[in-house]
Structure 1
Amino acid sequence: MTDSFDGPPLTPPPERASFPDGLRFAFGTLTVLPARITRWDRPAARTGMACAPLAGLVVGVLAAVPGVLLLVLGGGPLLAAAVTVAVPAALTRGLHLDGLADTADGLGSAKPADEALRIMKQSDIGPFGVVALVIVMLVQVAALSEAYADSWIRGGLAAVVAAVTARVAMTLACREGVPGARPGGLGAAVAEVVPRPVAAVVAALAVAAAGAAALPLGLPAAARYAAAVLLALLAAQLLLRRCVRRFDGVTGDVFGALAEVAATTALIVLALG
């Protein structure tokens, strides 16, 4: 999710957006899956970003399936992990990774906010962005490989939890009180659209759902999966705080960076088990 998305200008919003409109908004902006956006306004963005974890759930399942199949067919955990990490990148056109790289370049530039935002908007990737991409991709593959080495169930579940957590981090970043850094782009379109109580409920449900999903693996595993989501969201919030202070708000690039940092943190915590 980056500012390179060229959506139509926001239209004068009706009072509410339906759940299907919100789902189309979430899938249409956060994935390449076929979902024609029927409304592009603040109410649709509010519902859509509250539903963002559902898009993450679908992406996570689609990422886990080929990894699990490779493992079942005799492939090694490293191969399964590499394919699993590649699928979300493909399903998002690499926009979240691009956002991570641009945000790293902006934060590393030590320039004033306006100049840092200009650097982030450029099409090329600087040294900070390259290093961030390499580290994040390597860590994600290594962590997932550890999970797959234990069992295909643990590896597949880790992939799904990481993908959902990444989108919950986006929902939290869309909450009221977190301004957009500039008037244009997708970041501004979704900034401050999610009420704080809704964002808190979405986060709490994600933590509880991760723990419940891991219950068949035992109570310690359930606690670890819930903790992974919680710690990942905390890491994303620390990055969000830094970006808001540095750029005077959020951009689409920042949303992408938050998603990748949250997913990576969750996978690291799960690998420790």
Structure 2
Amino acid sequence: MRLIRSLLIAFSTYSRIPVPQVEWTEENRRYSMCFFPLVGLVTGLLLWGWLALCDHFEIDLFLRGAVAALLPLVITGGIHMDGFMDTVDALASWQPAEKRLEILKDSHTGAFAVMACAGYLLLSAALYSELFASAGPSLICVFILSRALSAWALAVMKGAREQGMLDDFSRVTRIRMVSVSGGIYALICLCVWILTGGWLALLCAAAAAVCVLGYRRMAYRQFGGVTGDLAGWFLQVTELALIAVIVIGGRLL
């Protein structure tokens, strides 16, 4: 029952999918991040279904891409995009790390965040318009792996604040379990990419590794560590990078 409660908390926190509500105790939340990638599984499955629907009814590419770009926001409630936008605002301020951390907590949205969000959605819509239902399995792995890596990074990387989401996360989460489960998710995704894309799997793995290293470098240099908002930024960037690799790599290989 503890695992089921952790699963429900993961979905209620990181998605808008209706699930039974459980009490948010430390015991119930202990393994919630281990189930975080399953939210990506559901997101990927729904996107696969949309692409299949577009293929069957020959829906225009513009509508295909636009709906596909918005679908993850509808499923997650925009929680990760919110972190992405806050991070962009903080980075664009060119302020010291302490000031950037204050900007992350600011509820106001700056011009740079709006432009970044618009650009992100425009680019992702363009990439999705190039995908068909045959890319469904590879696409599912994008959403699983981005969340597995985000959870793993929160577990092992230094936090920017002594008190905050990351501190609370570390206190209630079994870090070893997050690392082990993240490794399992990553291995499954790699196997799927190998079976469906062959050499494309190496490009996806390389892109994911670059995203992790770039995330750590940016977070440590610009903020002194990672935060929940930065985790959202990382997730969004990783998803966009992997989708771009699947689209472009699929044309080249």
TM-score of the pair, normalised by structure 1:
0.79
Structure 2 partner of 1:264: 240
> Residue 153 of structure 1: which of 116, 122, 134 is its match?
134
Of residues 84, 88, 99 in structure 1, which corresponds to 2:83?
99
**Alpha-carbon distance in structure 2 between the residues aligned to 1:194 and 1:131:** 38
Q: Which runs of 5 or more structure 2 residues have no equivalent in the other structure? A: none
Report deviation, 1:39: 4.2
Q: Distance in 2 between matches of 1:232 and 1:55?
A: 19
CA contact (8 A) 2:34 2:182 kept: no
Deviations 1:114-142 (A, max 9, x none): 32122222233223322322332222222
Question: Which residue does the alignment assign to 2:125?
Answer: 141
Matched residue pairs, number?
A: 248
Give the letter aligned to residue 55 of structure 1.
V
Matches within 5 A, 1:122-271: 122-148=106-132, 152-154=133-135, 156-179=136-159, 181=161, 183-184=163-164, 186-191=165-170, 193-195=173-175, 197-214=176-193, 217=196, 221-225=197-201, 227-271=203-247
CA contact (8 A) 1:171 1:194 kept: no
Among 18, 28, 51, the residue aligned to 2:2: 18
CA drift of 1:144 comes to: 2.1
Match of 2:113, SS? helix
Aligned 8 A contact 1:32 1:93 in 2: yes
RMSD: 2.6
CA deviations 1:30-57 (Å, max 9, x no partner) are: 1011234524344544411122111110
Q: Relative to structure 2, which stretch is displaced further, 24-33 or 108-117?
A: 108-117
**One-letter code aligned to 2:41:** L
Q: Deviations over 1:150-193 (max 9, x none)?
A: xx211x23432221122112211221343252524x44432473
CA distance in 2, matches of 1:205, 1:222: 20
Conserved in 1, the CA contact under 8 Å of 2:194 and 2:200? Answer: no
Is 2:98 the partner of 1:114?
yes
Alignment partners' CA distance in 1, 2:137 and 2:200:
12
Cα separation, partners in 2 of 1:215 and 1:244, compared to 1, 3 Å? closer
Q: Identity of counterpart residues, as a percentage?
A: 25
5 Å-filtered alignment, 1:31-46, equals 31-46=15-30
Greater Cα offset, 242-251 or 59-68:
242-251
Letter in 2 for 1:103: T
Q: For the residues of structure 2 that align with 1:234 and 1:46, how far apart are their CA atoms? A: 29
Q: CA offset at residue 104 of structure 1?
A: 0.9
Q: Determine helix, strand or coil for the equivalent of 1:124.
A: coil
- The answer to whether the 8 A contact 2:190-2:205 is kept is no
Aligned to 1:5: none
Report the equivalent of 1:83: 67
Distance 1:72 1:242, change over 3 A: same
Question: Structure 1 or 2: larger helix share?
Answer: 2
Moved more, 158-167 or 23-32: 158-167
Shift of 1:66: 2.0
Cα distance in 2 for partners of 1:153, 1:124 equals 41
TM-score by length of 2: 0.85
